[in-house]
Amino acid sequence: MKVLNYGSLNMDYVYTVDHMIREGETQSSSGLKTFCGGKGLNQSIALAKAGIPVYHAGIVGEDGDMLLELCRDNGVDITYVKRLPVKGGHTVIQVDREEQNSIILYGGTNQMQTEEDIDRVLNDFGAGDYLLLQNEINLLDYIIDRAYAKEMKIVLNPSPYNENLSECDLCKVSLFLLNEIEGEQMAGGSDENRILEHLAEKFPEAAFVLTLGKAGAVYFDGKEKIFQNIFEVETVDTTAAGDTFTGFFIASLIRGEGVRAAPSIPTMEEVERGIS
Ligand code: RIB
């Protein structure tokens, strides 16, 4: 069984600000840090750090050296990452004094996959292999259709939630990992139980993991509901927190540890060991 993550690779430009910028306002930032990111890359690195060999597929631009290097350094297989001589995907991220963030995303090369690229990559994968997806690349509908035809197990983090997802046949997805906002957008309503029940009615073959921020996370497969509380840690920047959770959760699942959330969440020591 192989694991393929078909997803975005971005350069993240993170600006420290007092508050989120308002309409018409100019605000000086007190700091700028540049990181490798993209929901796709973050989730591949989380999987690799959680001990699961992962192939990443996607496209970087002319500014993609750091992204490729970080993947390599963390043991992510980049055989299926292509490079184009144009601007790659990037973000402008504001982090305010409460450590909350807001993100402007420029798709760049993440939006340039072709059907030929996808066929070439999926040729090397088959029944029972895992395919992890987010919503930061183009032709997601085509990838889902082709992977489903090959009987791959499709896991979708529908983030960011937007109209592109309405083109996808989401009945082909086996597992959704989403936060409350995406849950509301997909199901309507804001109550977590209503969101999960609505989603389970709409996609009866799928299971769901709904993350609830400080309130923890809940798993639902239409029958069993499992709730997991958070472990308190000091917040520095919440960017990629969801991606890290996704990678570690899927890693636990692949290792056969079951869906009970407790063993899926790494201890502080494990996380520190993983990121040092
Ligand atoms: O989920 C966090 C990621 O979303 C960031 O790394 C940024 O690149 C955006 O894609």
Report the separation in Å between the CA atom of 80 and the middle of ligand 1, taken as the mean of its atom positions.
20
Q: Where are the domains of the chain?
A: 3-8+38-87+111-173+231-275
Per residue, what are the HEC states of 75-112? CCEEEEEEECCCCCEEEEEEECCCCCEEEEEECHHHHC
Distance in angstroms (rounded) separating the CA atoms of residues 59 and 110: 6
pLDDT digits (tens, 9 = 90+) for 122-171: 999 999 999 999 999 999 999 999 999 999 999 999 999 999 999 999 99
CATH number attached to the domain at 3-8+38-87+111-173+231-275: 3.40.1190.20
Is residue 249 a contact partner of residue 264, using CB atoms and an 8 Å limit?
yes
Which of 133, 161, 237, 243 to probe ligand 1 with, by most ligand atoms within 8 A of CB?
243
Task: Sheet with 217-220: list strands edge to edge.
Answer: 77-83, 55-60, 3-6, 130-133, 153-156, 175-179, 207-211, 217-220, 225-228
Collapse the DSSP code of 134 into the 3-class scheme (helix H, G, I; strand E, B; otherwise coil) and give the result: coil
Is residue 145 a contact partner of residue 166, using CB atoms and an 8 Å limit?
no
Say yes or no: CB of residue 43 within 6 Å of ligand 1.
Answer: no
- Buried/exposed 161-191: b ≥16 CB within 10 Å, e otherwise: beebbeebebebbbbbbbbbebbbbbbeeee
pLDDT score recorded for residue 263: 44
pLDDT score recorded for residue 189: 78
pLDDT score recorded for residue 276: 45
pLDDT score recorded for residue 248: 94
Q: What angle do CA 80, 259, 165 make, to 5 degrees?
A: 50
Place of tokens 């299971």: 207
pLDDT score recorded for residue 61: 98
Q: Is the peptide bond before 160 cis (omega within 30 degrees of 0)?
A: yes
- List CB contacts of 199: < 8 A, sequence separation 6 or more: 176, 183, 186, 187, 206, 208, 220
Select from 78, 66, 89, 67 the least CA-distant residue to 138: 89
Distance in angstroms (rounded) separating the CA atoms of residues 229 and 270: 18
**Dihedral angle of Cα 87, 88, 89, 95, to the nearest 10 degrees:** -80
Is residue 7 a contact partner of residue 109, using CB atoms and an 8 Å limit?
no
The amino acid sitting at 71 is C
Place of tokens 């990678």: 247
pLDDT score recorded for residue 171: 98
pLDDT score recorded for residue 258: 81
Residues above pLDDT 70, as percent of the chain: 94
**Dihedral angle of Cα 88, 94, 100, 102, to the nearest 10 degrees:** -60
pLDDT score recorded for residue 120: 98
Residue of the nearest CA to atom 6 in ligand 1? 37
Low-confidence ranges of the chain (pLDDT < 70): 261-276
Q: Can you list the alpha helix ranges (DSSP code H) found in the chain?
A: 39-49, 65-73, 115-122, 140-149, 180-187, 192-202, 241-254, 261-264, 268-275
Record the pTM.
Answer: 0.91
Q: What angle do CA 62, 133, 69 make, to 5 degrees?
A: 35
Say yes or no: CB of residue 226 within 6 Å of ligand 1.
Answer: no
pLDDT score recorded for residue 270: 63
Which of 43, 103, 159 to probe ligand 1 with, by most ligand atoms within 8 A of CB?
103
